[in-house]
Each structure stands twice: as structure tokens, then as C-alpha cells.
Amino acid sequence: KGKQFLIVGTKNKVVDSVARAAIRARCHYVNKKWLSCMITNWPTTETRLHKFGNLRTEQKTGRLNRLSKRDATMLKRQLSRLQTYLGGIKYMTRFPDIALRECITLGISTICLIDTNSDPDLADISIPTNDDAIA
């Protein structure tokens, strides 16, 4: 139906699996750290994504190399940080239809793989799993 999904998995054991699965399924993903209010405060996230895109464009065109060494280093550090936290959603152009973390706040139903140390009551449909099955 053309819906946008956002897959979230920030536990160290599933970071790579989340990225691979999301790329294979052509979904957006967050696999490092969930930034607070990433979805409920979408205008701020969108501003960060635009900044990230602009910095990527400047790096690809070589504009960062024309800056002073100090300024270029600061912007490259900022670009690296944005890549770490927003790399999986860099092509997200609108509010996603499904987001795991803030679905309760927004009233969206969720289906979750629940680890042994997770609260199964947070998900509408819980699928129990263990660490070995995810990794």
C-alpha cells in the first residue's frame, strides 16, 4: 500500500541485523540511538535531515575541502555524528506510517519481537524471542 515503515533496534546484538533487514526490505531504520521525540517532533527531525543532506552534498562536491582546516574538521565531525544517528532515515521525506518507539503515544498498533528483558505489555502483538534467534 506504499506505507513507510521505520524499524528500530538499538541493542548491540541486533544493530547489524536491523540495518541488513531494513535495507533488504527497503525500510527506514534506527540502529544506534533513538533520539528523543524523533517522530513526535517531526519538524526538528526534518531540519536535522536537511542539514545532513546538505553536508553530504558539500562533502561529495568537495566544498568542505575549500574551507579552513578547523571549519572543515568541525563540519566533518558533525556529518559523522549525523550519519551515525540519522543514516538509516536519511531518505525519509515524511512522517513514517509505522514507528516502534512512539506508537503508543500516537495510538498506532505495533507488532514487536520481545526479548526476555523487555516488557511485552508495551506491544499490541508480542512475539517472544531470545538473543540467539535474533543474532
Q: What is the pLDDT of residues 43-100, one digit of tens each?
A: 888 899 999 999 999 999 999 888 999 999 999 999 999 998 889 888 888 776 655 5
Question: CA-to-CA distance for 37 and 70, rounded, in angstroms?
Answer: 32
Question: What percentage of the chain reaches a pLDDT higher than 90?
Answer: 21
Q: Is residue 37 part of a domain?
A: yes
Question: Average pLDDT, whole number, for the chain?
Answer: 79
C-alpha cell at 67: 574551507
> Could you read off the pLDDT of 15-53 as tens digits, one per residue?
888 888 888 888 888 888 877 777 778 888 889 999 999
Could you tell me the residue range of the domain that residue 74 belongs to? Answer: 6-128
pTM for the predicted model, two decimal places = 0.66
Q: What CATH number did the domain enclosing 87 receive?
A: 3.40.50.10490
- CB of 29 closer than 8 Å to CB of 35: no
Q: Domains in the chain: how many in total?
A: 1
Q: What is the pLDDT of residue 117?
A: 63
